[in-house]
């Protein structure tokens, strides 16, 4: 659903950039505008082509929907050392075991509804999940949860902290096939709602 809305806009913007005589200015304005749609005030501080990529540096302000306390904690966390081993999504997220299980079940549900008519093959899914930097404990939990059909009732009354940890991973899982269907869209919307 989301891809059906966004993709035509992206295609239009790509054509606009390709035919623009002021490509850099247009791209800077486009990036700021698109981030503005989600309530983030952004300023592009660097924009330059590098090989087959475009390097973009941004300065962003506090999103409209973010309260001052959360924003201060985000800034403080970014100023703190961030050891590489803490970048993995692990079972030690200060969550109770039942919460870890809920995250695994929510992610399993996203995998199951991505193509309800296709049988899930664990080696293929595992390869994709490992690329998301999930640790062995989380992978094991998802593998176990995939053995039974997960219910959409999981999306009711999700704890905001669990939703916040699950949402970014859920988006990546939903995007494995480059499309977001109605079931995935519903799940992602429910997680977003739970975070508010």
Is there a single domain that holds both residue 31 and residue 106?
no
Report if residue 79 sits inside a domain.
no
Report if residue 73 sits inside a domain.
no
Report if residue 75 sits inside a domain.
no
Is there a single domain that holds both residue 51 and residue 126?
no
- Read off the pLDDT band of 13 (50, 70, 90): confident
Supply the range of the domain harboring residue 141: 96-195
Is there a single domain that holds both residue 179 and residue 116?
yes
Per-chain mean pLDDT for the chain: 83
CA–CA separation, 114 and 146 (whole Å): 13
Number of domains the chain contains: 2
Report if residue 126 sits inside a domain.
yes
Report if residue 81 sits inside a domain.
no
24-33, 87-96, 118-127: lowest mean pLDDT where?
A: 87-96
Is there a single domain that holds both residue 40 and residue 101?
no
Is there a single domain that holds both residue 41 and residue 112?
no
Name every residue whose Cβ is closer than 8 Å to that of residue 170 and which is 6 or more positions away in sequence. Answer: 106, 107, 110, 187, 188, 191
CA torsion angle 1 153 148 174 (round to 10)? 20
pLDDT recorded at residue 124: 87
Report if residue 74 sits inside a domain.
no
Contact criterion met (CB below 8 Å) for 142 and 107: yes
Is there a single domain that holds both residue 19 and residue 107?
no
pLDDT recorded at residue 121: 86
* pTM given for the model: 0.59
Is there a single domain that holds both residue 56 and residue 121?
no
Report if residue 85 sits inside a domain.
no
Report if residue 68 sits inside a domain.
no
């Amino acid at each position: 659903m989301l891809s059906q809305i966004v993709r035509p806009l992206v295609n239009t913007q790509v054509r606009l950039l390709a035919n623009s005589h002021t490509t850099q200015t247009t791209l800077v304005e486009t990036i700021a505008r698109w981030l503005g749609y989600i309530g983030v005030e952004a300023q592009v501080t660097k924009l330059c082509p590098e090989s087959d990529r475009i390097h973009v540096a941004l300065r962003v302000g506090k999103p409209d929907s973010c309260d001052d306390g959360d924003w201060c904690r985000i800034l403080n966390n970014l100023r703190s050392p961030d050891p590489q081993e803490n970048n993995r999504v692990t079972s030690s997220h200060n969550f109770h075991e039942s919460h870890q299980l809920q995250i695994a079940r929510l992610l399993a549900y996203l995998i199951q509804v991505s193509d309800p008519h296709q049988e899930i093959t664990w080696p293929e899914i595992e390869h994709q999940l490992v690329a998301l930097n999930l640790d062995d404990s989380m992978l094991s939990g998802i593998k176990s949860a995939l053995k039974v059909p997960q219910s959409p009732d999981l999306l009711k009354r999700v704890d905001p902290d669990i939703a916040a940890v699950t949402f970014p991973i859920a988006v990546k899982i939903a995007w494995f096939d480059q499309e977001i269907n109605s079931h995935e869209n519903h799940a992602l919307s429910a997680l977003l709602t739970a975070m508010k």
